[in-house]
Each structure stands twice: as structure tokens, then as C-alpha cells.
Structure 1
């Protein structure tokens, strides 16, 4: 049985997790706010994970082959992933609506 949320210490929480007990954040698809989206050049990607680490929305998931993909339902297009990508594999492009 899980502890009540107020009993967790900060270091016991999973990185980038959505805790269903507390609220309903997973129900709100905030990606509609985006005006730009990330596009990845897989030939340049070295699978370092810096994009995942710095994503403030936990919108990046690692695939079985070690690559990363964006859940555009939650990506707000902030561009932090592109800024932190040292090989320059991520570019922000205007969203087409």
C-alpha cells in the first residue's frame, strides 16, 4: 500500500513522474500550447539523454533501442532539449496547425 503523498521525502519520488493520487495532470494534454516542436536528427543523436534529463515536462521517453522520443501531447515546445543537446541533434521548428 502506498504512503499518503505528504509522507514522501523529495528523494523518494521518481524523476519525471506523474502522481495520479494527488491530481489529474496526466488528463491535461498541454502540448496544445506549443508553437514550436522538437525534431531530432537521429544520425547526430548520441543517445546521451541530456534532452530527457532537462525536460521540465517529462515529455521525453527512452525507446528500447536507447533513442528518445517526444510525447507531443505534453511537450510545450520550450526548446530546453535543443539548447542542452551538445551534438546539435535537436532543432526546434514551427508547429504546423
Structure 2
């Protein structure tokens, strides 16, 4: 049996070792549900943008342009706060064979 490392030999978990690295990680791969945006229902209130914890809502000059699936984790907050139901959460399995 291999000898286990001592507590002081184990690296500390959850430590950010270099600044600005969050953009490198494809956190959208964790998604189980995908937000689908319907432009025809959107009133550009930007509630989705304001509440999105991952800054995955793409906007330009206060106009909703889409969702950045690279970072969207599929939490559904955007769909829940949308007053016009312009965002619908759909199972990620529906998109398993499609490019983003």
C-alpha cells in the first residue's frame, strides 16, 4: 500500500493561483437546461441581464442580443425574471447534436 501524503503536503483546494483565469473555463458545459431566447417576445427590459449570475446575457446598447452558452450554467434565473416569458428553459439533451 502506498504511503498517504501528510496534511501539509496536500495542495490547498479552491485556491485561485493566477488572476483572471475564470474566462478560460467553459462553465457552460455544466448545464442541464438551456435558456432559449425568443426575440419576438422580448421588450429589452434587461431583467435577464441584471439578474444573470454568470454575465451570460449578451446585450448591446441595452438591447438583448442573445445568450453566451460558453458561460451560461442553465440556472434559469433569466427565464424566471423575464416578464414576457421570452426565455424558455429546455433540456440540454435536445441540443446534444447541434453546434452552439
Does residue 39 (structure 1) correspond to residue 57 (structure 2)? The answer is no
* Matched position secondary structure for 2:36: strand
Within the alignment, does 1:71 sit opposite 2:78 as a pair? no
Return the TM-score normalized by structure 2. Answer: 0.70
Measure, in 2, the Cα distance between the counterparts of 1:23 and 1:31: 18
Change in 2 beyond 3 A, CA 1:26/1:70: same
Count residues with an aligned counterpart: 77
1:26-60 Cα deviation digits (max 9, x unpaired): 00010000011111111110011000000000111
2:86 corresponds to? 89
- Post-superposition, which runs of at least 4 consecutive aligned residues in structure 1 deviate over 4 A? none
TM-score, structure 1 normalization: 0.72
> Any gaps of 5 or more consecutive residues in structure 1?
1-20
> Quick check: which has more Rg, 1 or 2?
2
Q: Point out where structure 2 has 5 or more consecutive residues left out of the alignment.
A: 1-17
- Determine whether 1:80 maps to 2:77: yes
**Cα-Cα RMSD:** 1.7
